[in-house]
Chains A and B, each alone.
Chain A
Amino acid sequence: MTSPSPAYIEEALVLAQDRLTNDVYRLTVEATTGGSPGQFYMVRAWDREPLLARPISIHDADEGTISLLYQVRGRGTELLARLHKGDTVALMGPLGNGFTMENLHGRVGIVTGGIGIAPMFYLASTLPARSATVIAGFKSTPYAVAALLSLGVEVYVATEDGCEGTRGFCTDIFDPAAFDVVVTCGPTPMMARVAQLCAQAGVPCQASLEAHMACGIGACLGCTFPTTSGYKRVCADGPVFDAAEVIWHA
């Protein structure tokens, strides 16, 4: 598969920064480089420290803008959260393979944990209307759900503290038998469980994996994940893999 070449944009203009919850933000920047659902950008909005750029998925994109949905975790995401309209960020992308859209037909189940919901708005808005159902798990207050509902997507929510939806994990309310194909993104143990449920039910599953990255473009071999055909680069061979090929408990 040959995807369009990524670009490096040293100064992309910030158009908006919206705070969705206590620690989840949506950043909208001016860029024409777009990408497909499941692809990501390496993002950097500071001078020397921290050293490396951060991988962030495309939350939404059109001809002139890209938006990113992110959760503050450490120093890098904290600095992203300080950006204001009119500031600039450095972007490299679009990167990675994205979801295999041609395999997503029929009833598509989208199972997410926490900020793993980030790439799913763009995915759901690209799928045919009413074909997708999102099953989203959160620690506490949900986010990004209203936008999905506005697309006409069905959304089921589970929260660990029970503040909304069903109390528990998204995997507690996920039944693979209801779907023809499943897509998942979230913490690795959660995705491993989704992959296991799908395998038992004989439902194909695409998983968007996470790994620490240095280059983001396939050159350093720093982001590998074990698969049935050896170590694969999450940034260049992924981040989306056939869940059946991933060795989850290496």
Chain B
Amino acid sequence: MPETMLCGVTLKNPVIAASGTFGFGAEYGRLFDVSKLGAICTKGLTLHPREGNPGMRVWETPAGMMNSIGLQNPGIPAFLEHELPRMRTMGTAIIANVGGGDLEEYVEGVRLLSEAESIDIIELNISCPNVHEGGMAFGIKANVAAGVVAAVRRVCRKPLMVKLSPNAENIADMAVACERAGADAVSLVNAFNALAIDIHARKPVFDNVTAGLSGPAIKPIALRMVWEAAHAVRIPVVGIGGITTWQDAVEFLMAGATAVQVGTATFVKPTAMLDIVDGLERYCAAEPLTRL
């Protein structure tokens, strides 16, 4: 696969490790050469460290999995000091994924990350619950999301990619709202809000009741959403959701994505992304990639 330009940054290929599924790159770096990836998205970062959620955190479902990690992370200052120097040596682009509980935390987090030279792109995760709005995620209502994006845009000196929630009221409207508020790209989708019940314990599996569904089960819905977003905006769209094989990746690229992110598939097969890169290379050598 040829190099890919994503909001001014040259990626070796369009295959990116999705946030929260690849840590800060070091763990899988013990298993394979991560410099072969187009980029790595960091685990979701917040200004202040977060402990994460109690109770069950991952649960397998048919063709998918649910997670309720609760954004466990060391906080942005500790990330910049301890993790980023190591990530910089990995030989691939670095996308810092950032979350927050309120507007101030997002803005201050992005401001700090903007100052770090080795970060290529900032990915704004708007699926986080808003502590001032009864926990409703920033990414549900287009006007709320646009408010965060505009505020962050003012302090962000890196390309800004906004990661959309599939739980948005209307995904095309959401993408347009983010574009107008100053996003350089949108990535979608994050995990779907879902529920599992332990029938023996007679209670929800997760302490937080609901959790995020990812993996092959969400792929057709994610693909439809990427298609809708790509037809609504002019900025690049990065496709995410259940991508497991190179054929899946081709589908997202045909639907209008500039690049793809792979998450859950790495748990199924740790080298899945390398297989996708190889498959895309062979496909593109044999026939041109058409955008539908």
Report A's interface with B, CB cutoff 8 A.
5-8, 10, 44, 48-53, 90, 92, 212-224, 226, 230-231, 236, 250
- Kindly identify which residue among B28, B32, B54 contacts A250, using a CB–CB cutoff of 8 Å: B54
Q: Which of B23, B31, B69, B264 contacts A92 (CB 8 A)?
A: B31
B35 at the interface (CB under 8 A from A): no
The 8 Å CB contact of B67, one of A44, A53, A222, is A222
Q: How far is the CB of B262 from chain A (nearest CB, A)?
A: 13
Per-residue interface assignment for chain B, residues 22 to 38, with 1 indicating a CB less than 8 Å from any chain A CB and 0 otherwise: 11000110111000000
Q: How far is the CB of B30 from chain A (nearest CB, A)?
A: 4
Q: How far is the CB of A8 from chain B (nearest CB, A)?
A: 5
State A221–B54 Cα separation when bound (angstroms). 12
Question: What chain B residues lie within 8 Å of A49 (beta carbons)?
Answer: 62-63
Query: B131 near A: Cβ within 8 Å?
Result: no
Partner of B267, one of A8, A48, A215, A221: A215
Residues of A within 8 A of B28 (CB): 217, 219
Question: Which residues of A have CB within 8 Å of B269?
Answer: 8, 10, 90
* B236 adjacent to chain A (CB < 8 Å): no
* Residues on A with beta carbons closer than 8 Å to the beta carbon of B21: 215, 219-220
Q: Are A223 and B271 in contact (CB under 8 A)?
A: no
Say yes or no: B52 contacts A221, CB within 8 Å.
yes
A220 touches B69 (CB 8 A): yes
Known contacts A49-B62, A52-B65, A217-B28: A223-B57 contact under CB 8 Å: yes
User: Are A50 and B270 within 8 A (Cβ)?
Assistant: no
CB contact list, B47-72 vs A, under 8 A = 51-52, 54, 56-65, 67, 69, 72
Give the number of residue pairs across the A-B interface with Cβ within 8 Å.
Answer: 96
Contact B52 A8 (CB under 8 A): no
Question: Are B270 and A224 touching (Cβ within 8 A)?
Answer: no
Q: Are A217 and B54 in contact (CB under 8 A)?
A: no
In the complex, are the beta carbons of A51 and B268 less than 8 A apart?
yes
When C-beta atoms are compared, the residue in chain A nearest to B70 turns out to be A221
In the complex, B43 has a CB within 8 A of chain A: yes
The residue from A90, A217, A220, A230 contacting B20, defined by CB atoms under 8 A apart: A220
Q: Does B266 contact A (CB under 8 A)?
A: yes
A230 nearest in chain B by CB position? B51
Can you spell out 5 A-B residue pairs with CB atoms less than 8 angstroms apart? A90-B269, A217-B27, A217-B270, A219-B27, A222-B67
Residue from A212, A217, A236 in contact with B58 in the complex, judged by beta carbons closer than 8 Å? A212
> Are A223 and B58 within 8 A (Cβ)?
yes
Let me know if B256 is at the binding interface, CB within 8 A: no
Q: Is B166 an interface residue (CB 8 A)?
A: no
